[in-house]
Structure 1
Amino acid sequence: MALFDLLTPQQKTIVEHNSGPHLVIAGPGTGKTRVVTHKLAHLLKQGVDPETIFCTTFSNKAANDIKVKVAELVGKQEVELPWLGTFHSVMTKILRSEAKFLGYSTSFSIYDTEDSESLVTNIINDFNINSEALSPREVTRRISYLKNIMVFPEDLLKKEDRTSIEEKFIKLYQEYQRKIFNSDAMDLEDLILKSLEVLKTQKKVHNKYKKKFIYFIFDEFQEFSKAQYEIIKLLSSKAGKICAVGDDSQSIYSWRGASLDNIAAFKEDFSRVKQFPLEEDFRTSGNIFKAGNEIISKNSSFVPKKSFTKNEPRELLSLIKCSDEKDEAYQLAKFIKDEIAENKYSYCDFAVLYRTNNQCRAFEDVFAEEGLPYKIYGNVEYYRRREIKDLIAYLKVIINPRDEESLLRIMNFPQRGIGMTTIKRMVAFLKKHDVTLFETMGRVFEVIDIKERIQKNVKNFKILLDKYIALRDKLSVGELTHTLVAELELQRLFNEETTHESLEKIDNLNAFLVSISEFSNKYPEATIEEYLRIVNLMTDLDSINETDNAIKLMTIHSAKGMEFPVVFVSGLEEQLFPLSTKFSSEATVEEERRLFYVAVTRGKYKVYLSHARARYRFGEVAYENRSMFINELPPALLKEENASQNRKGRKTKKEKIIQKFQSIGYVDWEHQKSLIKQGSRVFHEQFGLGKVIAVIGAGDNQKVTVVFDGNNMKQLMLKFAKLKVQN
């Protein structure tokens, strides 16, 4: 197959053009990735040295995918494109050689966001600052944003009449910059800023790379920061062979310093810029295409384009009205099942998109309950979040004190002065005496080299666990968990942190308690083991790979550059989408609308829009109107779904359990004897669901006492009862 066989005339013209600066405006589904890969392949086939090509993408995965595709196009197993990658990765490569001119070693450390926040936390503690407005998370986020827009402490000092909070923030920012430099480290923003600095201040370095690079290809150009754009201007000439690919309508990262002005500036800063439009949308159906245009045209900054699609209109966008987030999740699950039945889709054909990470909890719960496999992108699943995993670890230890991993996890949660040194000494003791860690805690006074104060802490923790081990058969799962959380004083602990993160922890904690209460109310006799079985089903999904047949759950930002046959855009309520400025100071209606445009145009054939009348947020129920974005869509493009019909067909958990029992065959009673024990869940054709409370006798005369629904107690001969057992 020839290189240009799969290209449209528009795409072929762009690929072949390498005589000067050119701007490619590429809307959703117009084939911009195909243009980038073919452009690289075309250069290599012309004999261009890969060392002279500077090509950046928005993600490492995109860079790897492009590399594989280019190799395929040029007929090789692999190709060398050493300067293909994200802007940060390419700049890091330059800095490893040149950072010595700025006072860094060639082995400088790179701090991720967590490292930066840890450093900020230490600085705040050193300065003894206690202010909710200057929490570690907020200070870190603010420093990152300011560095991305190239605003530094000295710039902030120029402002007169600064408030006390502003003065303290400037001091924190100054100290952060000093400490990170003294640590021979750079944060993610520094990788760009220090590259710009070394190119500006070191003439030899500047000349070296300006001579080195001849061809420039920049994907997702609309997301470039001011510093990145300055680097482009330094490395290339005004008439250079530069290809900038982007779409102003899909700029959604202003909080990372992305500037819409870059596209307009490019036309002014470079000579005789040729502009190429990619106008045909090959991805979306006719109705989704129309909806996308209606959405983005409402922005005052929107630049009209002559875009079109030849795709069939297919279905209208479906609008789903929900009572709350749980109902939303159930309804989406129902529509997914319907789509699979009617259109033969696979699970991997569906994506559920949301504005904020904490919206995914309801989907996790319901999809697991409904037997729908899912994979979360760009977030840690609800039951993998630290504070929730810690509580689940408590429950695991309460039912199984030999569970060493869970016990180690909660040994110092909440903090009780039991550090790693103490734990190491206890582990040495248990190995020497062949006992469990839990037993060692009961004998902690025998462990040498542990201070008496810490020994008492360990003993008190053991007493706490013993108490709940004794209560596990006396309280329901919900009662026990609520009592435990109250005794651990987690609510107070998180409240005292006074950070944005602590609000999320409180929200997650409350959501967890609500969830476990709902379970306990539905199944008052359920044991901790039965609850954990459900939780384990959820956490097992963490092992799914990207290629697995699973529904994708992700934020809209994470979905950038992706496409799916069926897309659900959830949480379309005021304050949530568009996100209120009280939750994100950088949020603007125009960028939120661009985000909605990106969300809708991820769909190829079908898009569902859902909104809830009530939603649990920050520890309380919030009632909001449906999003203004829904109201901006023409009614002719929307189809309102019948929510009551969905609820009418919804099975209860009890009905699902009965259905499961009815689908399995009876196992002969000889085998039953090895399965049935006290606490077993069973099913009888006449009496229904039940729980074994006693097993009496042996052999042919073995009897079981079972409490069936309605507190109906029966004593049955196991040999003749024909019970089905839930393993």
Structure 2
Amino acid sequence: MSEDLNPKQREAAEFKDGIAAVIAVPGSGKTRTMMERIGILVNEYGIPPEHILGLTFTRNAADEMRSRLVPVLGDLSSRVRLSTIHSFCLHLLKTEGRVFEILSGKEQLVFIKKVMKRLRAKDVTVGTVLREISLAKNNIIDPVEFKDLFYGDKTMMQVANIYEAYDEAKSNKLLLDFDDLLLEAYYLLRDNDEIHEKYQGSFRSILVDEFQDLNPVQFALLRLLIREDTDHDPSSFWVAGDDHQAIYSFTGASVGNIINFQAMFPGSRQFILDLNYRSTPQILRACQNLIQYNVKQIHKDLKTDNPDGDDVIVLEASNEETEALGVVNEIVDLVERRGYQHSDIAVLYRANFQSRYVEEAFLQNKIPYHIQNGQTFYDRREVRCLLDYLRVINKPDSDEGDEALLNILNVPVRYVSNKVKDQLKGYCRERGIHLYQGLKSMIIGTPYVRKLVKELVYFMEPLIGNAKSLEPVQVIQQIRTAFDYDRFIVDEDIPSPDDVKISNINQLQLAAVRYSTIAAFLAYTDSFQDEAVADDKQGVSLMTVHKAKGLEFPVVFVIGLVEGLMPSGKGNLEEERRICFVAISRAMHLLFLSYPLNYLGQPSKKSIFLDEIIGNRQPAFDKSAA
């Protein structure tokens, strides 16, 4: 209960009316403080639980908040409104009579592709369009404003036209995408005084977790829900977050929301939770050493009462393969000699394509692992489809070749329907032949489908005829070129900041360089389908830093600490430093940092962050004067 909170946690939890920001360092008990605050609001301040709104960003986080509130409030916890911001907006719109269906995931992708096809938009990828439209909506920029903003930029004007047509098409079909949920809820509250007053008066207390991740439309929406003048109407707006962990600028989130909170809300209180319960002093010193170089920050001294632990260990390797083997050797020692379990350990990286070397080293050495909220390297669609092309080329007249052919018929899109696939299977069954032979001889009724299938056969025939003498790396490149494969893959999915699909394809090609025949390369990749090792929830966790946010592990390895990767050459340096901060602050007892001297076959330069973490770099400014 609240008496178990430390003094700073208790002070933040007991804040009564008004506006407050709780700045919480990693592992400082932020969520617990938030739940105890809700208990105090109900049990001590007499606020009805249904007048309390708690918001966060992910369903998992909302579920965790709910489970942690039960011991505090018991049966009353179910009456507190805890949800994601998107879920809250959905409920608001439905309650106010808006009629619509949600356009999500693949449906949104298909829908916007149809819009682009109608506009004959070929100079811009679907991924770019989705990213720019989402960013615009998150910044409350409508299609007209978008056009004004990018007037004269040919590519962005094309995006603007698609944005306008996309919104019109959705409106005609009564559809909203996930970004629309936020935007439409904001417009409804902004433009309808009666509804605004209704919701502004609904909640005596609003709490927001991970406040640093708010984008402009979410922030604007919240400002419409709260009463900033609490002198005449007692209420509270209480947010929690950490500017050091603001790593979502790609969604429009701005670290300025939390840094400038007191300027935006004059008279508001600020509480700093600086006691870390998670990590050793050595790990916290590394975190402090790193983050001190950011100019835009709320300065905090990271403290802990935990006993001393081991120094941070830096591993240097000649290349990515030896880096992965170095990680393997350390894990073997940790498990066999130091008593750690595989599930105690996490390997973190900046981008998904980096997992290949680690996965291969783990599988070769029988170290169980799983990819957190993701797929193993050779199971990723863009990789798997290229391997299926190789399987057809290697063994067209086999069951393996049949299965692979069905997988690639529409990669890229050739409009081969399930009906045509069934006709092909029946045709081959009657003649006792395999599917590729049937594809060559069966007449397909639809002319444009027949033409595209003939082009596929025309491409495959010489490769199949020379399969034994072809190098897999060359064949992969031919597939990429002949079918504009990279463009297809980029257009096939909603873009992600840490899953660069082209980089995954490049990694597959790098893996293929070592093999002189397609058969040998396929034998190698097939050996990594050992699910007993590669999908073991009790194994080592492999994940990107973004996926690791909010998690903690006794042992953490952060790999690939080279310039151009961490920090990324594309990102803002201060945000890249915050990404690295999130990575190293996941560690409880042991932290390993590694870098290869050669990366992607070229000499690399170790990350500037390494010298900052270890303390070999002098601060660029006087933090005492900041």
For 2:33, give the aligned amino acid: V
Cα distance in structure 2, aligned partners of 1:513 and 1:170:
36
User: Any idea what the Cα deviations from partners look like across 1:603-658, whole Å, max 9, x if unmatched?
Assistant: 11111111222222xxxx44331111112234479xxxxxxxxxxxxxxxxxxxxx
Match for residue 402 of structure 1 among 399, 403, 408:
399
Partner of 2:581: 597
Q: State the structure with bigger RCO (CA 8 A, min sep 6), 1 or 2.
A: 2
Cα distance in structure 2, aligned partners of 1:456 and 1:450:
10
1:534 counterpart = 2:527 = yes
Partner of 1:32: 30
For 2:435, give the aligned amino acid: F
Q: Which moved more, 1:90-99 or 1:44-53?
A: 44-53
Describe the SS at the equivalent of 1:189: helix
- Matches for 1:60-459 after TM superposition, within 5 Å: 60-75=59-74, 79-81=77-79, 83-98=81-96, 100=98, 105=99, 107-112=100-105, 114-131=106-123, 134-159=124-149, 162-238=152-228, 239=230, 240-263=235-258, 265-270=260-265, 272-394=267-389, 398=395, 401-403=398-400, 405-413=403-411, 418-427=416-425, 438=435, 441=438, 445=442, 450=445
Q: Which moved more, 1:47-56 or 1:322-331?
A: 47-56
The alpha carbon displacement at 1:303 in A equals 2.2
Describe the SS at the equivalent of 1:85: strand
CA separation of 1:464 and 1:237: change in aligned 2, threshold 3 A = closer
For 1:371, give the aligned amino acid: K
Cα distance in structure 1, aligned partners of 2:139 and 2:550:
24
User: Any idea what the Cα deviations from partners look like across 1:484-520, whole Å, max 9, x if unmatched?
Assistant: 546x6333423673986699555434432432443x4
CA separation of 1:399 and 1:73: change in aligned 2, threshold 3 A = farther
Contact 2:22 2:241 survives alignment (8 Å): yes
CA separation of 1:450 and 1:498: change in aligned 2, threshold 3 A = closer
> How many residues are matched?
602
Partner of 1:21: 19
1:514 counterpart = 2:521 = no
- TM-score, normalising length from structure 2? 0.85
CA separation of 1:356 and 1:81: change in aligned 2, threshold 3 A = farther
The alpha carbon displacement at 1:443 in A equals 9.8
Partner of 1:565: 554
Cα distance in structure 1, aligned partners of 2:574 and 2:513:
40
For 1:613, give the aligned amino acid: L
CA separation of 1:194 and 1:314: change in aligned 2, threshold 3 A = same
CA RMSD of aligned residues (A): 3.5
Cα distance in structure 2, aligned partners of 1:459 and 1:175:
35
The alpha carbon displacement at 1:32 in A equals 0.3
Contact 1:494 1:505 survives alignment (8 Å): no
CA separation of 1:455 and 1:194: change in aligned 2, threshold 3 A = closer
CA separation of 1:578 and 1:81: change in aligned 2, threshold 3 A = farther
* Unmatched 5+ stretches in structure 2: 493-498, 618-626
CA separation of 1:353 and 1:532: change in aligned 2, threshold 3 A = closer
The alpha carbon displacement at 1:529 in A equals 7.7
The alpha carbon displacement at 1:359 in A equals 1.4
Cα distance in structure 2, aligned partners of 1:496 and 1:636:
41
User: Any idea what the Cα deviations from partners look like across 1:287-316, whole Å, max 9, x if unmatched?
Assistant: 111111111111111222244212223111
The alpha carbon displacement at 1:27 in A equals 0.6
Partner of 2:57: 58
The percent of aligned pairs where both chains have the same amino acid is: 27
Cα distance in structure 1, aligned partners of 2:334 and 2:138:
43
Cα distance in structure 2, aligned partners of 1:504 and 1:270:
39
Structure having the higher Rg: 1
Partner of 1:724: none
For 1:53, give the aligned amino acid: I
Describe the SS at the equivalent of 2:541: strand
User: Any idea what the Cα deviations from partners look like across 1:240-297, whole Å, max 9, x if unmatched?
Assistant: 2221111112111122121223235543454642322212111111011111111111
CA separation of 1:83 and 1:435: change in aligned 2, threshold 3 A = farther
- Matches for 1:711-726 after TM superposition, within 5 Å: none
Contact 2:366 2:533 survives alignment (8 Å): no
Contact 1:145 1:256 survives alignment (8 Å): yes
Cα distance in structure 2, aligned partners of 1:345 and 1:484:
44
- Matches for 1:572-611 after TM superposition, within 5 Å: 572-581=561-570, 587-611=571-595
Contact 2:424 2:439 survives alignment (8 Å): no
Match for residue 623 of structure 1 among 600, 603, 606:
603
Contact 1:377 1:552 survives alignment (8 Å): yes
Match for residue 544 of structure 2 among 538, 555, 565:
555
For 1:139, give the aligned amino acid: V
Contact 1:417 1:454 survives alignment (8 Å): yes
Describe the SS at the equivalent of 1:611: strand
Cα distance in structure 2, aligned partners of 1:457 and 1:247:
53
CA separation of 1:552 and 1:313: change in aligned 2, threshold 3 A = same
For 1:603, give the aligned amino acid: A
- Matches for 1:618-697 after TM superposition, within 5 Å: 621-635=601-615
Cα distance in structure 2, aligned partners of 1:465 and 1:39:
65
Contact 1:323 1:612 survives alignment (8 Å): yes
Cα distance in structure 2, aligned partners of 1:359 and 1:615:
11
* Unmatched 5+ stretches in structure 1: 582-586, 638-727
User: Any idea what the Cα deviations from partners look like across 1:356-395, whole Å, max 9, x if unmatched?
Assistant: 2211121122211121111112443221122321233355
